[in-house]
Chain A
């Protein structure tokens, strides 16, 4: 991209990716949750799409998309829960750095890279949902540790799973559309 930096901040593409990202993540979070069987916990496809988007467009898009999509989802239920909104934003931001690891637009997507990506996403999930969100609940909302860590651990597991399966599939499919230097012949 040889975008001329005539103004500071996000590129136009990043603005659009964020806007469209918020819309899709919101729709997925709000209307398509898959219940896990554990009360109050769902497999969140929104997080999987968020991760995919962040892996392509980077930390700024990831962080902003996560923040607003989570905020809108909470508002649409009538109740914003800031510690989790902030944890989500941080997750989107962190996982955005996987862009530099995958370089999916320029390089071939190898199994090794996917493994690293998944290690990174699990670490980011543990940090954000297993540690930060519960700590936020304890410090900000003064909730008891046992309860918030249970919720945090559940979220860590379901998100890691959703991302590990769905986001990985999305990345593989996307990778195939990006590197088409192989010669195609009719047979």
Chain B
């Protein structure tokens, strides 16, 4: 193709690395692990449990054998994002930790911005909740064949039409990145100023000059693609099969089983702790 983007379209799923077992995992397994851990980690505030989840996630990260330069940019972005959130939380509610844990051990400072052990502990938990799943996602981003996702989603009973919409989106992301870039340059040649020099209002209006061609070409694309799919009988049956679907292997079942155990453990801890928080202060 003549016009390639310099930015490599890899965000959702990229090239496969030589990794021992993680590449053999089926898409279904990865979706189940990701959704399951993400859901339980979202709710739980048990520090010990979150550390356990983080350790589990790092097993996948290690298996993916990623190079630091591959993930460097994302890791910095996540650190920046997490720090910003921590600061915001602290600035808005320095007493939130004390409120949750029902005690207040002052470390230093006084007045509104007093620093308590409870607040720091709460912030530690929050940080864990932000980052525990990151190693897992990084590993999956770089080791998952995008073709497996739709088939994998359909296996966990998500309606096949929704799964196919996802397949189509993955097929079109590189195309639209290229097209967006091309249109944006063509509009700059027309005289559009979209650099940082222009004011925000100018940039919003300017971007609609880029969006308009993109929107109309995408509406055309929707029409032609619909025709192409109907001419090959998409959506005429209650189900469909998938070229890319593979039966689950022992490893898949094993990991799904282990994930379920982890989730049950997380729920059990709610009972033990009498709630979502693990409270070391009483």
Which of A8, A56, A144, A166 is packed against the most chain B CB atoms within 10 Å? A144
By the criterion CB–CB under 8 Å, are B96 and A144 in contact? yes
Query: What 1/0 mask marks residues of chain B from 146 to 169 whose CB sits below 8 Å from any chain A CB?
Result: 000000000000010110111111
Of the candidates A7, A22, A28, the one whose C-beta lies within 8 Å of that of B165 is: A22
Query: What 1/0 mask marks residues of chain A from 159 to 173 whose CB sits below 8 Å from any chain B CB?
Result: 001100110011001
By the criterion CB–CB under 8 Å, are B200 and A170 in contact? no
Chain A residues whose C-beta falls within 8 Å of the C-beta of B238 in the assembled complex: 7-8
- From DSSP, what is the main secondary structure of chain B's interface residues? helix
A184, CB-defined interface residue at 8 Å: no
B114, CB-defined interface residue at 8 Å: no
Chain A residues whose C-beta falls within 8 Å of the C-beta of B214 in the assembled complex: 24
Which residues, 80 to 112 on A, are CB-close (under 8 Å) to B? 80, 82
Of the candidates A15, A56, A142, the one whose C-beta lies within 8 Å of that of B234 is: A15
B32, CB-defined interface residue at 8 Å: no
Query: What 1/0 mask marks residues of chain B from 72 to 87 whose CB sits below 8 Å from any chain A CB?
Result: 0011011001001100
On whether A34 and B204 interact (CB within 8 A), knowing A12-B235, A40-B84, A79-B130, the answer reads: yes
A117, CB-defined interface residue at 8 Å: no
On whether A52 and B215 interact (CB within 8 A), knowing A12-B226, A15-B168, the answer reads: yes
A16, CB-defined interface residue at 8 Å: yes
Of the candidates B11, B92, B161, the one whose C-beta lies within 8 Å of that of A144 is: B92
CA distance A142 to B166 in the complex (A): 31
- On chain B, which size bracket covers the interface? 35 or more
Chain B residues whose C-beta falls within 8 Å of the C-beta of A22 in the assembled complex: 165-166, 168-169
CA distance A77 to B133 in the complex (A): 11
Query: What 1/0 mask marks residues of chain B from 30 to 68 whose CB sits below 8 Å from any chain A CB?
Result: 000000001100110100000000000000000000000
By the criterion CB–CB under 8 Å, are A18 and B165 in contact? yes
- From DSSP, what is the main secondary structure of chain A's interface residues? helix
A13, CB-defined interface residue at 8 Å: yes
By the criterion CB–CB under 8 Å, are B212 and A20 in contact? no
A155, CB-defined interface residue at 8 Å: no
B248, CB-defined interface residue at 8 Å: no
Chain A residues whose C-beta falls within 8 Å of the C-beta of B38 in the assembled complex: 80, 82
B126, CB-defined interface residue at 8 Å: yes
Which residues, 115 to 153 on B, are CB-close (under 8 Å) to A? 126, 129-131, 133-134, 137-138, 141
CA distance A142 to B45 in the complex (A): 9
By the criterion CB–CB under 8 Å, are B229 and A12 in contact? yes
On whether A24 and B176 interact (CB within 8 A), knowing A34-B200, A68-B165, A173-B212, the answer reads: yes
By the criterion CB–CB under 8 Å, are B177 and A31 in contact? yes
A115, CB-defined interface residue at 8 Å: no
Smallest beta-carbon distance B110→chain A, Å: 20
By the criterion CB–CB under 8 Å, are A146 and B92 in contact? yes
Chain A residues whose C-beta falls within 8 Å of the C-beta of B237 in the assembled complex: 6-7
Selected A-B contacts with CB under 8 Å, 20 pairs: A7-B236, A15-B165, A15-B234, A20-B222, A23-B170, A23-B173, A23-B176, A24-B172, A32-B207, A39-B84, A72-B12, A78-B78, A79-B81, A79-B133, A79-B134, A82-B39, A141-B42, A141-B129, A145-B93, A147-B88
Q: Told that A23-B168, A27-B176, A150-B92 touch, could you supply 10 new A-B pairs with CB distance under 8 A?
A: A12-B226, A14-B161, A16-B222, A19-B166, A20-B222, A22-B169, A78-B75, A79-B81, A144-B89, A173-B215
